Chain A
């Protein structure tokens, strides 16, 4: 990562907002070209994401997915590892939940099974991060290549299992039987209903709380623990890490396992929170979008929460757009998401030189007063 000469608040707040506005501006032009009013479209999107009944719930539900995969990418990035295997790690996490829930459901108390299922998702994700980490550390196989390949391997394993030994009997779709005995995470609308509030149905469930806890834990890990210190030291300078006796190989392996575990826990939201059975392709690109989330959130948990919220709102508001306008299709929404990823991910530093000039000039103007 390049060292920015800009004030911290500019780097953290101004640049992401500027990138976002640019993306929305370009998207607005395109919407205008196809003959719709961009401002109406924006308002429909915002209403869909936050105002309509259940909209906020859906937004936060998607947000949960992005928090997990964004954290996964961010943790790896602190060790200068580029984990783009979030898809595969999440899929394996789903498998972990399925195996625990299907084998222990009804045998152990429900709460224990749920806790074990969550651990199972973290463990299976961790294994799927550990192997590429090991290969990088001990064999020098590049993490980007191996994590991509592991996405395909995970996908193939899932197809093989769900269309084979784990497939529910007497039906045609590749999925397991539903978890029995109430092995699932409660959804917010149920909880609030029981307390007498009616907030409209949405898949938002307790995983959201788990995601926020994970954000705090990641912050604690990276900035307040010995391991986090070692991870950052190794990421910035492997030589200094060797000198200090941290063994960069070990750090790489541990970091990738933690990263994989976080991505794996995305499955808690989808499988344990909503589907209550293991299905194919439930990861549907969240793992990849996590890269954009981490980039936009500057690899900091707080930034990741906001970036996840943005992408969650886009997902939900985008669906609303598709619904309201004849001319705006699902593909159009994907295009808008693409623009945001483009401007806040790939072109994240586009405005840096300009802002640097602006801010450094200002400082220079102030300087004579100091002399």
Chain B
């Protein structure tokens, strides 16, 4: 009887929830990715979902937009039960997804990408014109500035993301899921994205924001849900909470969000670069005249917006690409465009490299963990004799590394891709550190890594520095650079804007230099 009344009520007026999930369960083999998840998302709000890597956020969202089917549980959209067999079912009910890695055809124009899959019938031209009209309207309503006729691959990441958002809106999305949207954005682009999200909200669009960055949750969401190990552990209004409390909920214990570390004892020059430049295949100078010294016992942080020459710098110093101009020296050995260097030779000289992209470079994902932890070091005599490798010895080595770096699960034969992001990064780090390097190049050590692992990685780097290792740290996280570095080198458009010691700088000054203002001018402007 009571149930019936409730049903009538639901039928009579609109549900306050744009989406509600009830007892969703989803397992992959023995892994329970989602365990009895309940979630109510109020219409017209920005709802944050936060959790460590591997907490089950992405799985839950994949269920919501129809990519996975839940093992059990119900989905309701606007109070009505819904079953999604495929993403097109979800989009029909107005649920759109903006993926972390964009699903765009690089050589299509923005317009072509947006209408892809819904371009209408024969005769593309008419469809294009109509689509353009509709999109102009969407653009002006939500403040999504995009030049529709530009080829996608030439556009900055921030704009590509807007294309993804437009794509979802064009298909009539009223609920927008954004999966780690700021991971690839510069601080400025992030601000612009947030403005767009607020504009969408004011027009009644419901937004689900998946992230592991606490400050983003605090900055923009109305409500927040915390996931931990496949379970929903907290649902609350954002204004009633604090970053510290959220962090505690995420990892199940208190962590220090921003530790300030003491400066290290700086020793002699370990690596010096003199006018290094790189010209890429298209003839574009991606790195210009990089001159600096890296000393043992210090962390030199490379700050800058992603894509301003940091990757090229790492690539040259690690021996992967030879410099087009200039040279650098390690232990009186000079390397330039003619005097070829290779990653193997660099390793012999005591230089280790934690690459920026652990999926493509740092690990061979289909390899078992013990195979991945010898990538580049397979000729080490402790892993075999002569031409041969000894799997038992390597497995034992891997088990030791997993133990001392707290890699979970501690299983040397697990496939590399089956570890979570943080544990994968620990595997890479353990490999590069176990060779006791004198110089360590580190690229984006904590990208897509959960808080617990971040803390561990940071402490490990500081320990390496204190033991006399020279560390070059490339990161797009300014907080990370400020927290770890002794000196900070700022790059913009492939050029070094200046090198400052941590004590003598501020976030604002670094921001100016990242935006392309050289150090001298930045100081002048300050005074």
Report which A residues bind B (CB closer than 8 A): 3, 5, 220, 223-227, 229-230, 232-233, 236-237, 239-240, 242-245, 360, 363-364, 367, 370
B83: shortest Cβ distance to chain A, in Å? 19
Q: How many whole Å from B124's CB to the nearest CB in chain A?
A: 31
A160 to chain B, nearest CB (A): 40
Instruction: Given A243-B318, A244-B376, output 6 extra A-B contacts at Cβ < 8 Å.
Output: A3-B417, A229-B374, A237-B365, A239-B357, A243-B376, A245-B344
A102 to B117, CA, bound (A): 65
A360, closest chain B residue (CB): B29
Does B252 count as interface, using CB distance less than 8 angstroms? no
- In the complex, the answer to whether B362 meets A225 with C-beta atoms within 8 Å is no
Which B residue sits closest to A229, measured CB to CB?
B378
Which A residues touch B353, using CB under 8 A? 243
The CA-CA distance from A364 to B71 in the complex, in Å, is 10
A249 to B345, CA, bound (A): 18
Pick the residue among B27, B319, B367 that contacts A236 (CB under 8 A): B367
In the bound complex, residues from chain A placing their C-beta under 8 Å from that of B364 are 232-233, 236-237, 240
Q: Which of A224, A242, A360 contacts B389 (CB 8 A)?
A: A224
Check B360 against A244 for contact (C-beta < 8 Å). Answer: no
Q: How far in angstroms is the closest Cβ of chain A from B255?
A: 29
Closest chain A residue, CB of each to CB of B418: A3
Cα–Cα, bound, A233→B366 (Å): 9
Please give the number of chain B residues whose Cβ is less than 8 angstroms from any Cβ of chain A in the complex.
Answer: 38
Are B365 and A367 within 8 A (Cβ)?
A: no
Whether A226 touches B389, Cβ cut-off 8 Å, given contacts A5-B29, A367-B27, is yes
Beta-carbon contact of A225 and B365 below 8 Å: no
For the complex, what is the distance from the CA of A330 to the CA of B371, rounded to whole Å? 48
Contact of A236 with B365 at beta-carbon distance under 8 Å, contacts A225-B389, A227-B387, A245-B344 already known:
yes
User: Closest Cβ of chain A: how far from B44's Cβ, in Å?
Assistant: 38
**Nearest CB to that of B366 among chain A residues?**
A236
Contacts of B319 in A (CB 8 A): 245
Q: Which of B342, B360, B378 is within 8 Å of A240, CB to CB?
A: B360
One digit per residue, 1 when the CB lies within 8 angstroms of any chain A CB and 0 when it does not, for chain B 360-401 equals 111111110001001110110000100111010000000000
B417 surroundings in chain A (CB, below 8 A): 3
Shortest CB-to-CB span from A58 to chain B, Å, is 37
List 10 A–B pairs whose Cβ atoms lie within 8 Å, in order of A's numbering. A3-B417, A220-B388, A225-B389, A232-B371, A236-B365, A239-B360, A242-B320, A243-B343, A243-B355, A370-B30
> With the chains together, A330 CA to B425 CA distance in Å?
59
Chain B residues positioned under 8 Å from A226 (CB to CB): 378-379, 384, 387-389
User: With a CB–CB cut-off of 8 A, which chain A residues contact B346?
Assistant: 245
Residues of B within 8 A of A245 (CB): 319-320, 342-347, 376
Shortest Cβ distance from B358 into A: residue = A240
Q: How far in angstroms is the closest Cβ of chain A from B123?
A: 35
The reply to whether A233 and B367 contact each other, CB–CB distance below 8 Å, is yes
Residues of A within 8 A of B375 (CB): 233, 240, 243-244
- Do A224 and B366 have beta carbons less than 8 Å apart? no
A245 to B345, CA, bound (A): 9
Task: List, in ascending order, chain A residues with CB within 8 A of B357's CB.
Answer: 239
Tell me, in angstroms, the Cα distance from A232 to B416 when the chains sit together: 14
Q: Which single member of B27, B344, B361, B378 contacts A239 (CB below 8 Å)?
A: B361
Pairwise interchain contact B29-A363, C-beta atoms closer than 8 A? yes
Whether A232 contacts B389 by the Cβ 8 Å rule is no
How far apart are B208's CB and chain A's nearest CB, in angstroms?
Answer: 28
Complex contact A225–B355 (CB within 8 A): no
Evaluate whether A237 and B389 lie within 8 angstroms (CB atoms) in the complex, with A5-B29, A244-B376, A364-B27 already known: no
Minimum CB–CB distance from B142 to chain A (whole Å) comes to: 37
Which A residues lie within 8 Å of B30 (CB)? 363, 367, 370
CB distance from A216 to the nearest CB of B (A): 13
Q: Across the interface, name the chain B residue whose C-beta is closest to A7.
A: B29
Q: Which 7 A-B pairs have the closest CB atoms?
A: A245-B343, A244-B376, A243-B361, A245-B344, A239-B360, A236-B366, A236-B364
Distance, CA A348 to CA B511, complexed state (A): 56
- A243 adjacent to B378 (CB under 8 Å): no
In the bound complex, do residue B320 and residue A243 qualify as a contact, i.e. CB atoms below 8 Å apart? Answer: yes
How far is the CB of A315 from the nearest CB of chain B, in Å?
A: 34
The CA of A18 and the CA of B353, in the complex, are separated in Å by: 47
Contacts of B343 in A (CB 8 A): 243-245
Closest Cβ–Cβ distance, residue A232 to chain B (whole Å)? 7
Chain A residues with CB under 8 A of B28: 5
Chain B proximity of A220: nearest CB distance (Å): 8
A363 to B343, CA, bound (A): 44
Residues of B within 8 A of A227 (CB): 387
Q: Which residues of A contact B389 (CB under 8 A)?
A: 224-226, 229
CA distance A223 to B384 in the complex (A): 12
Bound-state CA distance A5–B418 (Å) is 11
Interface centre among A223, A224, A229, A236 (most CB of B within 10 A): A229
Per the bound structure, the CA–CA distance linking A230 and B375 in Å amounts to: 9
| A243 contact set on B, CB distance < 8 A | 318, 320, 343, 353, 355, 361-362, 375-376
Given the known interface contacts A236-B365, A243-B376, the answer about A229 and B371 at a Cβ–Cβ threshold of 8 Å is yes
* Residues in chain A near residue B367, CB distance under 8 A: 232-233, 236
CA distance A233 to B347 in the complex (A): 18
Give the chain A neighbours of B29 by CB distance below 8 A: 5, 360, 363
In whole angstroms, how far apart are the Cα atoms of A229 and B318 in the complex? 21
Contacts of B360 in A (CB 8 A): 237, 239-240
Complex CA–CA separation, A220 to B387 (angstroms):
10
A228 to chain B, nearest CB (A): 8
